[in-house]
Amino acid sequence: MGTWKSSEKEVYDAVLVALKSGYRHIDTAAAYGNEDAIGRAIEDSGIERNEIFVTTKLWCTDHRRPREALKESLRKLRLSFVDLYLMHWPVPLNPNGNGYFPTLPNGKRDIDTEWDFIKTWDLLQELVAEGLTKSVGVSNFSVKSLKKLLASPSLKIKPVANQVELHPYLPQHKLLKYATENGILLEAYSPLGSTGSTILSDDTVVKLAEKLKVSPATLLISWAVWRNTVVLPKSVTPSRIESNLSIIDLSDEDGEILNGLSAKKGNVRFVDPDWSPFVVFDDDDY
């Protein structure tokens, strides 16, 4: 279950409902500001720690201090380790700047130009041996960034996963192919098209969902599984949390219909913060 945009208040109940319904993977991030409530819900669920898979993420202003940042996350989550720790974005931001999204006087992002994500990875990979996380990965990495990381002479552990925006309007076929060839699992965030989704009412999606007698959300989640990605639908509504858990086996023919949607309509990226002059996304991933 995804928890971006789920407030502290909402997410406690949402995680409890999710765990009671059978979810076992909870995805959060330091930047979501909800780790504390998620930690309380996990504790109150009474479910054994080793049955639950928890992911959290390193924020950009903490690229120079992932150990300390992870320890802070663990304290909030009330856990002694997470299962997966991701570098949230490949962009180091000034750790002494103004807030979570520090800016320069000209309004541009205050990027930590003396640092880069290779150095961040060098520190991140140490956290596995220290037992603070079972595995490490990245998020919002393009093929270009992944190639740079995999070619680093100091690489000891490959990222196990790359969490990126994935849905039929942004299937990122080339990124999926590259990740698969290199043994990196892609995880789909915003799989339903995020808040106010237009994909859920897309004609092709609605027609295919009607044909298969499922909801558009179930179709999109099933498609993500059909193409071998991990899928992280977000909801704070109990009925949706429960229904998002049931999926169907898509035939290759139906899967290909959704695979081809963006070629007709063009790619749409719903999560696209301004990181300039750092270039995060790359059209070559489509």
Which of 28, 125, 139, 235 touches ligand A2P (CB under 6 A)?
235
Could you check whether the bond before residue 90 is cis, i.e. omega within 30 degrees of 0?
A: no
Q: What gap in Å lies between CA 257 and CA 177, rounded to an integer?
A: 18
Which has the closest alpha carbon to 179: 223, 142, 208, 213? 142
Q: Is 191 in the site for ligand A2P (CB under 6 A)?
A: yes
CA distances from 206 to 12, 213, 224 (A): 32, 10, 16
Which has the closest alpha carbon to 171: 267, 265, 247? 267
- Binding range to ligand A2P, per CB under 6 A, among 58-66, 93-101, 138-146, 233-241: 233-241
Which of 58, 166, 217, 250 touches ligand A2P (CB under 6 A)?
217
Spell out, one character per residue from 26 to 65, where the chain touches ligand A2P: x when CB under 6 A holds, - when not.
----------------------------------------
Which of 57, 63, 109, 234 touches ligand A2P (CB under 6 A)?
234
> With contact defined as beta carbons under 8 Å apart, do 84 and 134 qualify?
yes
Q: Is 2 in the site for ligand A2P (CB under 6 A)?
A: yes
Minimum separation from the CB atom of position 201 to ligand A2P (A): 10
Name the catalytic one among 12, 23, 32, 178: 32
Specify whether the backbone of 270 is left (phi greater than 0), alpha (psi in -120 to 50) or beta: alpha
The smaller minimum CB distance to ligand A2P, of residues 98 and 246, is found at: 246
Burial 61-72 (b: 16+ CB within 10 A, else e): bbbeebeebbee
Q: Is 195 in the site for ligand A2P (CB under 6 A)?
A: yes
Which of 243, 245, 259, 282 touches ligand A2P (CB under 6 A)?
243
Q: Is 190 in the site for ligand A2P (CB under 6 A)?
A: yes
- Binding range to ligand A2P, per CB under 6 A, among 18-26, 104-112, 189-197, 205-213: 189-197
Where does 171-246 have alpha helices with state H?
A: 173-181, 203-212, 216-226, 238-243
Residue labelled with tokens 């237009």: 198
Q: Is 192 in the site for ligand A2P (CB under 6 A)?
A: yes
Could you tell me the two tokens for 73?
Answer: 């996350």
- Binding range to ligand A2P, per CB under 6 A, among 42-50, 235-243, 255-263, 276-284: 235-243
Q: Is 200 in the site for ligand A2P (CB under 6 A)?
A: yes
Which has the closest alpha carbon to 212: 246, 254, 168, 259? 254
The smaller minimum CB distance to ligand A2P, of residues 121 and 281, is found at: 281
32 assigned to active site:
yes
CA distances from 129 to 67, 123, 136, 242 (A): 12, 11, 11, 36
CA Rg value for the chain:
19
- Binding range to ligand A2P, per CB under 6 A, among 38-46, 138-146, 236-244, 260-268: 236-244
The smaller minimum CB distance to ligand A2P, of residues 263 and 271, is found at: 271
The smaller minimum CB distance to ligand A2P, of residues 97 and 238, is found at: 238
- Binding residues for ligand A2P, rule: CB under 6 A, are 2, 190-195, 197, 200, 215, 217, 233-237, 240, 243-244
**Annotated catalytic sites, by residue?**
32
